[in-house]
Amino acid sequence: MNAFIDFITGPMVWISFLIFFAGVFIRVFRLAQEANSKEKFMFSYFSWKYSLRSIFAWLVPFLPASTRQSPVFWGISYLFHLLLFMVPIFLLSHIVLLEESLGWSWISLNDSIADVLTVLVILALVFFAVRRLNVPEVKFLTRSSDYLFILIVALPFLTGFLAYHQFFFYRTMVIIHILTGELMLILIPFTRFFHMFLAPISRAYTGSEFGNVRQARDW
């Protein structure tokens, strides 16, 4: 069993990152290639100034009108996305593993704080699921894959939480935690998790068109 754990905490991590980076690169490259061959005009409207203006405007909580219209969703969404990256990156256990393998380390979250933040991430996901089930306009758009996405994101956090507290089936919990974490990373370039990269791109283009051509704000 230790050999298996050695594999999933060692080579598998690199394989996952490799697939992730290669997948992201290939997709973005193909996208740019297609834009270049069929919609070259888009590059002539693209503007760094207005792209960044739009992206930053949308990063400021409650600046865009949409965020003020749905403050609960947006509050939770902003927090969720922040924690989704912050908790795993600044988690002590993760940093310890990195320190052992590469000798890198950086500032870490206090474990008990990370614990609370993990619960917040899980609660946010529960909120998203409940919202999909209950808000008519969201329900109408929702497909079963949307719940699957929520589950895939929830699993590493949930198993991480359970493993940290060592409630039961410790080994199994950690193994599921590691595998689902890697699964999520691998899936990013091939699923709608890719909005992580596409969202800034489409925001940038809309921001460029609004700022450059229409001379209006887009938030």
Partner 1 sequence: MQDSTIENKDSVKTDVIDEAVERGLERLTPERIAGVINQVLAKETGARFKTYIDTCMRCGLCADACSFFLSNDRDPKFSPAAKVKQTLTEMLEKRGNVSKDFLKNMVRIAHTECNVCKRCSMYCPFGIDIAYMMLTVRRICHKLEITPLYIQDTVNSHSATMNQMWVKEDEWIDTLQWQEEDAREEFEDLRIPLDKDGADIMYSVIAPEPKFQAGLIYQTAVIMHAAGVNWTMPSNPGWDNSNMAMFTGDFEISGRLAKAHYEAAADLHVNRIVMGECGHAFRSVYDVGNRWAGWRMPPIELVHAIDFFHELLTTGRIKVKEKYKKSVTLHDPCNVSRGRGLHDKAREVVNLLCDNFIEMTPNKEHNFCCGAGGGVINCGPPYKTTRMINNRVKKEQLEQTGAEVLIAPCHNCHSGLEDITHHYGVDMEIKFFGDIIYEVMEKTIYQGGV
Partner 2 sequence: MKTKLLLIIMGFILLLGAIGAYSQDEEIVVMDTSAFENTQRPASVFDHDIHNEMAGLEDDCAICHHVYDGKTLVEGESSEDSYCADCHSLSKTAENDVPLRAAYHKRCKSCHFETNKGPVLCGECHKN
Binding site for partner 2 (CB under 8 A): 1-3, 5-6, 92-93, 96, 99-100, 103, 110-112, 163-168, 170-171, 174
| Residue 43 CB neighbour total at 10 angstroms | 12
- Report d(CA 116, CA 108) in Å as an integer: 15
Q: Is position 32 an interface residue for partner 1 (rule: CB under 8 A)?
A: yes
Question: 37, 112, 134, 144: which one contacts partner 1 (CB under 8 A)?
Answer: 37
Among the listed residues 196, 169, 172, 173, the one whose alpha carbon sits nearest the alpha carbon of residue 184: 196
Footprint of partner 1 on 140-179 (CB under 8 A)? 140-143, 146
- Report d(CA 107, CA 171) in Å as an integer: 27
Q: Is position 58 an interface residue for partner 1 (rule: CB under 8 A)?
A: yes
Q: Is position 189 an interface residue for partner 1 (rule: CB under 8 A)?
A: no
In the complex, least distance from residue 152 CB atom to partner 2, rounded to whole angstroms: 21
Helix ranges (H only) for the chain are: 2-9, 11-38, 41-45, 48-59, 65-69, 71-89, 92-102, 111-134, 136-141, 144-165, 170-187, 195-208
Q: Based on the number of CB atoms within 10 Å of its own CB, is 174 exposed (0-12), middle (13-18) or buried (19 or more)?
A: buried
In the complex, least distance from residue 131 CB atom to partner 2, rounded to whole angstroms: 19
Q: Is position 126 an interface residue for partner 1 (rule: CB under 8 A)?
A: no
Question: Residue 126: which of partner 1, partner 2, none does it interact with, CB under 5 to 8 A by kind?
Answer: none
Contact 97, 124 (CB under 8 A): no
Nearest 5°: phi and psi at 164?
Answer: -60, -40
The stretch among 14-22, 154-162, 163-171, 199-207 that binds partner 1 (CB under 8 A) is 199-207
49 vs 195 by CB, closer to partner 1: 195
92 vs 152 by CB, closer to partner 2: 92
In the complex, least distance from residue 78 CB atom to partner 1, rounded to whole angstroms: 10
Residue showing tokens 């990373």: 185
Among the listed residues 3, 24, 32, the one whose alpha carbon sits nearest the alpha carbon of residue 191: 24
Binding residues vs partner 1 (CB under 8 A):
31-32, 34-35, 37-39, 41-42, 44-45, 54, 58, 64-66, 69-70, 73, 135-143, 146, 192, 194-195, 198-199, 201-203, 205-207, 209-210, 213-219
